[in-house]
Structure 1
């Protein structure tokens, strides 16, 4: 018996018949091989047939072919009628999405152009939020609704107060300046936790070190170019990269040293704040001597705010490929949704259950730098991937403030 046509098989057949009828109608011969070599490009998508993105793309089939169930439990987290959408593609390198409950928008940073944008919930528009963000990266909102941002260029973490003033959360540790704070999360006790690798100590996302620093060892880089934007630059030489906690009193403590976890990147708490997840990323630009292991690590948060019981949550290896983890968030059930970089077809979002087992994937045509849950019910997943922002309605909710 001939099996019934699935939506994808129907679409393949219809496209094939459409191409055949078009060829018969115009009676055109096939173009020369040389011409085809110039015009035919490899698909930049992961589905078969190739998927189209953007507002003019035809409706996708459901369930979405790029939302992949690995374990049955992942189905419980999905809304079966939802499809992936690319809602904006005018960025350069988007990072740090965070949902403002009060403003009803998704805030995000373009680390390259040094701007912040917002996706407005009611209209779906993306507008410039701050035309100069000092190469901000990670963002979050604390439990009072205040925006907290990591600024690469000024090498600091700041908080925007409700009256519009700026409070410097941290810019030094033990008398030395920070590197380039990367990702940040808020704790209900009023503390702020952030990672401080050195990805912003270069042209693209911040500024280089002064001569002699790791990011400018021979002094050839004109490290002050760009300082005219603000008249001053943040720290001048790379320091060891740590993971920090800033107490409500303002005291800055290193909860993880470079030796304990090199190249810290994304971080987030479990829903009950008893555990902290931290990504250890790859070698930094201009770095001399240490690499992260590209894995996600898990720690117990002690009553005295120190971390204990370090353990591997996942090594981020999939189908024999070492993937790169970046930003991540947990849902109310404790599942970890993590941005993943790697080969086309594998990159996108990986979803792990609380035990560290991969239960699902979201394929996108670019690695995801960071993600957040947003919308009035916190049941929309927003994903920053390269120059684009994607969204997917899900059947779970993000835990804590975005």
Structure 2
């Protein structure tokens, strides 16, 4: 990797990157990429191109193609514990799941009888519970969904237990909750608040919660982002947090120390670890997707 493509703020960062690995642009010509998710069984990456209302696919040797057109303005994606695709849809304002036969089912679309705003990012824990954020980005205009009035009266974070008929609200004091990720042992849950994107003086930080028996407690600010706002992020096997930012990807230690940055020419929206050894970082940016081999693996699922 070229020297000017990253910043080292702590010597530990040198052991997390693969210094001689080039930053590769694997896709372009999109409008706003989001929700990267890697499927090891097929060795392929999926992601959402939200304004173009499609989901894209990339695989080594096969290149880029459309995975799903008319994708209901999908945003965040993840795999569940059975290897199925779980998606946040702005268009239908729901969480959906793609079954192994290709059919798509809606898992949750309302809370206490009111429609969600526009589910944004999603993760699944080891028990199969689906955790997702619900800001209002997808109903603010017709660019990433359909303009509409919110029904819930706020932007919250929810958890949907396996077999449950309705999600439960786990925290309701965010301005615009966004990316989520667990620590490797799932004792901590990190949640981004990107409220500064539309609220003057709003939050631009990642908070962290203690997790016990599916409940959150002891909320505190983990890190504040100075370049843009935090969007999507992931945690590696050592517990370091790799988060999106305006100037690239920032890496923080479990104690919240800035270790280094991977600098990119576009605003970064999200990222995920993938590859057959979980040592390849896939980064979705404004119009492109980048890939980079790393010196550390993503946290095991």
Larger radius of gyration: 1
The residue aligned with 1:179 is 117
Write 1 or 2 for the structure with the bigger share of strand: 2
TM-score by length of 2: 0.95
Distance 1:274 1:290 in 2: 33
The residue aligned with 2:178 is 265
Partner of 1:65: helix, strand, or coil? helix
The residue aligned with 2:232 is 327
Partner of 2:231: helix, strand, or coil? strand
Per-residue deviation at 1:67? 1.9
The residue aligned with 2:145 is 206
The question of whether the paired residues in 2 share the 8 Å contact of 1:263 and 1:292 is answered with: no
The question of whether the paired residues in 1 share the 8 Å contact of 2:196 and 2:203 is answered with: no
Per-residue deviation at 1:292? 4.2
Q: Which has the higher contact order (CA 8 A, sep 6+)?
A: 2
The residue aligned with 1:370 is 270
The residue aligned with 2:211 is 301
Q: How does 1:1-400 map to 2 (within 5 A)?
A: 62-121=1-60, 123=61, 125-201=63-139, 202-209=141-148, 213=149, 237=151, 239-250=153-164, 251-257=166-172, 260-282=173-195, 292-303=202-213, 305-317=214-226, 322-341=227-246, 347-400=247-300
TM-score by length of 1: 0.72
Distance 1:242 1:154 in 2: 17
Per-residue deviation at 1:159? 0.7
Distance 2:242 2:284 in 1: 13
The question of whether the paired residues in 1 share the 8 Å contact of 2:37 and 2:46 is answered with: yes
Write 1 or 2 for the structure with the bigger share of helix: 1
Partner of 1:74: helix, strand, or coil? helix
Per-residue deviation at 1:151? 0.5
Point out 4+ residue stretches in structure 1 off by more than 4 angstroms. 289-292
Distance 1:283 1:332 in 2: 30
The question of whether the paired residues in 2 share the 8 Å contact of 1:199 and 1:284 is answered with: no
The question of whether the paired residues in 2 share the 8 Å contact of 1:198 and 1:284 is answered with: no
Partner of 2:268: helix, strand, or coil? coil
Per-residue deviation at 1:291? 7.2
The question of whether the paired residues in 1 share the 8 Å contact of 2:114 and 2:152 is answered with: no
Per-residue deviation at 1:323? 3.0
